[in-house]
Amino acid sequence: MKKTGYLLVLITFMFISCTGTSGSKDSKTPGSATAHVTDGGSEKTGSEAGKLEHLTAQTFKLKVMDYEKNPQNWVFEGDKPAIIDFYADWCRPCRMIAPILEELAVEYEGKINVYKVDTEAQRELASVFGIQSLPTVLFIPMQGKPSMQKGALPKESYKQIIDDFLLKAPVGNLK
Check if 18 is active-site: no
Cα–Cα distance between 43 and 53 in angstroms, integer? 6
Cα–Cα distance between 106 and 145 in angstroms, integer? 25
Check if 91 is active-site: yes
**Counting runs of H as helices and runs of E as strands, what totals does the chain give?**
5, 9
Please pick, among 82, 84, 94, 131, the residue that the annotation labels catalytic: 94
Q: Are 31 and 105 in contact (CB under 8 A)?
A: no
- By the 10 Å C-beta count (0-12 exposed, 13-18 middle, 19+ buried), 96 is classed as middle
Please pick, among 83, 91, 101, 162, the residue that the annotation labels catalytic: 91
Q: Which residues are identified as catalytic?
A: 91, 94
